[in-house]
Chain A
Amino acid sequence: MEKRVKFKGWLLPALLIAPQVVISAVFFFYPAGQAIWQSLFIPDPFGLSMQYVGLGNFEFLLSDRFYRASFVTTAIFSILVTLCSMIPALFLAVIADRLIKGSGVYRTLLIWPYAVAPAVAGVLWLFMFNTRVGVVSWYLGQLGYDWNHVLNGGEAMGLVVVASAWGRISYNFLFFFAALQAVPKSVIEAAAIDGAHFWKRFWTIVLPLLSPTTFFLLVVNIVYSFFETFGVIHTITAGGPQQTTTILVYKVYSDGFVSQDLGSSSAQSVILLIVVGLLTVLQFKFIEKRVHY
């Protein structure tokens, strides 16, 4: 789409876009270029010179047991976060949609956790499951279950998944609820007259109509669990125990800033860049489709 009416001149538009161009160049394109450039080098141990290694960093990474493990961890983590945040949200949205009155009140109450930063959510969940003072871990202890996410990798994963999914339930609820409200009531009523009971209507009519929203949320939640859950991981487990919760973004941070391994960290950034690129393409492809829909 284009405007028919355009103003003339080039100096004014150049000035108008200048702030964005400068900021993007300095804080975006230059660093992104640096990440790609640095991924081709290995600094010597004293940081005095760089040795060109071509794709050596990538070869090393892809054969590195820990890096491959981090890929698997990220995949498991993001699938779990996506499921744990979408299923309860859909459930709540479906029952809220059946209410004629009061759904607005519930919506107001349910959007709260969205405003809570992932890092703060991490602290809240850490507090509940803290091995010494946590309420939930204490009651689990009374039931004979010895909760210790500091030592047990599976429990650590469970905890970071729940803490990351918690705030996202609000987000997904808002989108599902809006989509459900947009489902034409006449279709549902027609099915009801034909004798389709609630669950049958849900599976055969409502869920298919929700599929654009569901697909959109799938992509968005995967992107979220890849990139925005750093705060949760850092506050609760710091990637441990034994790297069982080290997702890719956490590894870029820990290799780059904690271990100062710049070559490897940059190569990891480049790999992540490709992953984000693919996810973005997927998202845009889908959105284009939805416009026609």
Chain B
Amino acid sequence: MARQVHGMVEKRGSGLWLTHVFMILGVLVIFFPIWLAFVASTVTQADIIRPPMPVWPGDQLWTNYKNALFSGINVPVGTMLLNSLVMAIGIAVGKIIISLLSAFAIVYFKFPGRNLFFWLIFLTLMLPVEVRIVPTYEVVAGFGMLNSYSGLIFPLIASATATFLFRQFFLTIPDELAEAARVDGARPMRFFWDIVVPMSRTNIAALFVILFIYGWNQYLWPLLITTDPEMNTIVMGIKQMFPSGDDFAHWPTIMATSILAMIPPVIVVVGMQRLFIRGLVDSEK
């Protein structure tokens, strides 16, 4: 009986076959744009500007990628990749450090103004950078941080999502641990380093994945503050590779750049899938 019911709920036989067909179709449709971009990055410009373009890869992969990485159009794509990497890691690490510290203070100390502070950081959750771009731009320009890594990083770590996440997690750490630490005469920072940080390992890693993708995929902010092509990040730099007039865009280089722009976040997401899904679900709670 149990087996029979099982068969009614989970598909077997012809139904199973059909389910796989649907899934594969879904995957193919979703992958199609990436596949076309990849093909375009392996053929010549001449192959593309006489539509329809080929559907199978050509033999120009090495030439196109070498060309993109080392010469690019305005600036070598290698430079843009480096800028993106610095920005994404800077945002992820910076945000994790400041939020670990402040969440620790909020959870483990009683100090005047704690509630006010808590509500202030709560407010920062509500306002994405897109909403306050003009004044934030003025602040960054006032500090002379245009075209700099600090200008790319700092405004984007001024939000308290991570602080909330760590606060939630710290509240689940058993009180006995802090009690024992206090009885042993351990200083608060010692407790932080020896107990709290090691216990938060998984949360830190999951958050790193989410923040890395967030930083890597930024568009509007780098567009505003990196006027010098040498400081462009790869995600915003692709659009800058299009000619302003009526000329044909150099699609093989642009598509090679698009593929290069996807590789690091895709590696992070697929490689750290478990942590990524955990981080995603946690950070949305």
Chain-B contact segment, one of A25-33, A51-59, A65-73, A75-83 = A25-33
Beta-carbon contact of A14 and B111 below 8 Å: yes
Query: CA of A166 to CA of B36 in the docked complex: distance in angstroms?
Result: 15
Is A24 an interface position by the 8 A CB rule? yes
Is B195 an interface position by the 8 A CB rule? no
Nearest A residue to B39 by beta-carbon distance? A135
Residues of B8-31 contacting chain A, CB below 8 A: 8-11, 16, 19-20, 22-23, 26-27, 30-31
Beta-carbon contact of B270 and A1 below 8 Å: no
Q: Would you give the 0/1 interface string for B118-142, flagging 1 where the beta carbon is closer than 8 Å to chain A? A: 0011001111101111111111100
Known: A6-B110, A189-B5, A273-B127. A32 touches B33 (CB 8 A): no
B121 cross-chain contacts in A, Cβ below 8 A: 20, 24
Known: A16-B104, A17-B101, A23-B154. A120 touches B5 (CB 8 A): no
Interface centre among B49, B97, B128 (most CB of A within 10 A): B128
Beta-carbon contact of A24 and B160 below 8 Å: yes
Beta-carbon contact of A7 and B182 below 8 Å: yes
Q: Would you give the 0/1 interface string for A244-261, flagging 1 where the beta carbon is closer than 8 Å to chain B? A: 000001001100110000
Q: Which 9 A-B pairs have the closest CB atoms?
A: A117-B217, A231-B219, A34-B135, A31-B135, A115-B265, A16-B105, A13-B109, A13-B105, A138-B51
Beta-carbon contact of A16 and B102 below 8 Å: yes
B60 to chain A, nearest CB (A): 16
Chain-A contact segment, one of B63-71, B75-83, B197-205, B234-242 = B234-242
| B contact set with A: CB distance below 8 Å | 5-6, 8-11, 16, 19-20, 22-23, 26-27, 30-31, 33-34, 36-37, 40, 48-49, 51-53, 97-99, 101-102, 104-112, 114, 117, 120-121, 124-128, 130-140, 154-155, 157-160, 163, 171, 175, 178-179, 182, 188-189, 191, 213, 216-220, 223-224, 235-236, 238-239, 248, 251, 254-255, 258, 261-262, 265-266, 268-270, 273, 276-277, 280-281, 284-285
Query: CA of A8 to CA of B268 in the docked complex: distance in angstroms?
Result: 41
Query: CA of A10 to CA of B20 in the docked complex: distance in angstroms?
Result: 61
The total of Cβ contacts below 8 Å across the A-B interface reads 302
Beta-carbon contact of B251 and A133 below 8 Å: yes
Q: Would you give the 0/1 interface string for A203-245, flagging 1 where the beta carbon is closer than 8 Å to chain B? A: 0000000000000100010000001101100110000000000
Nearest A residue to B220 by beta-carbon distance? A230
Interface size grouping (class) on chain A: 35 or more
Of A3, A13, A234, the contact of B178 (CB 8 Å cutoff): A3
Of A12, A24, A234, A256, the contact of B120 (CB 8 Å cutoff): A24
Q: Would you give the 0/1 interface string for A97-118, flagging 1 where the beta carbon is closer than 8 Å to chain B? A: 0111010001111111111111
Is A61 an interface position by the 8 A CB rule? no
Beta-carbon contact of B9 and A185 below 8 Å: yes
Query: CA of A130 to CA of B121 in the docked complex: distance in angstroms?
Result: 44
A89 to chain B, nearest CB (A): 10
Beta-carbon contact of B269 and A115 below 8 Å: yes
Is A151 an interface position by the 8 A CB rule? no
Is A96 an interface position by the 8 A CB rule? yes
Query: CA of A252 to CA of B129 in the docked complex: distance in angstroms?
Result: 12
B124 to chain A, nearest CB (A): 5
Query: CA of A99 to CA of B270 in the docked complex: distance in angstroms?
Result: 21
Beta-carbon contact of A115 and B213 below 8 Å: yes
Interface centre among B30, B137, B262 (most CB of A within 10 A): B30
B111 cross-chain contacts in A, Cβ below 8 A: 9-10, 13-14
Q: Would you give the 0/1 interface string for A119-144, flagging 1 where the beta carbon is closer than 8 Å to chain B? A: 11101110110001111001100000
Beta-carbon contact of A24 and B158 below 8 Å: yes
A87 cross-chain contacts in B, Cβ below 8 A: none
Beta-carbon contact of A256 and B33 below 8 Å: no
A234 cross-chain contacts in B, Cβ below 8 A: 219-220, 223, 239
Query: CA of A4 to CA of B110 in the docked complex: distance in angstroms?
Result: 11
Nearest B residue to A266 by beta-carbon distance? B134
User: What are 5 inter-chain pairs, A to B, with CB distance below 8 A?
Assistant: A9-B111, A20-B121, A26-B139, A117-B262, A273-B131
Nearest B residue to A270 by beta-carbon distance? B131
B174 to chain A, nearest CB (A): 10
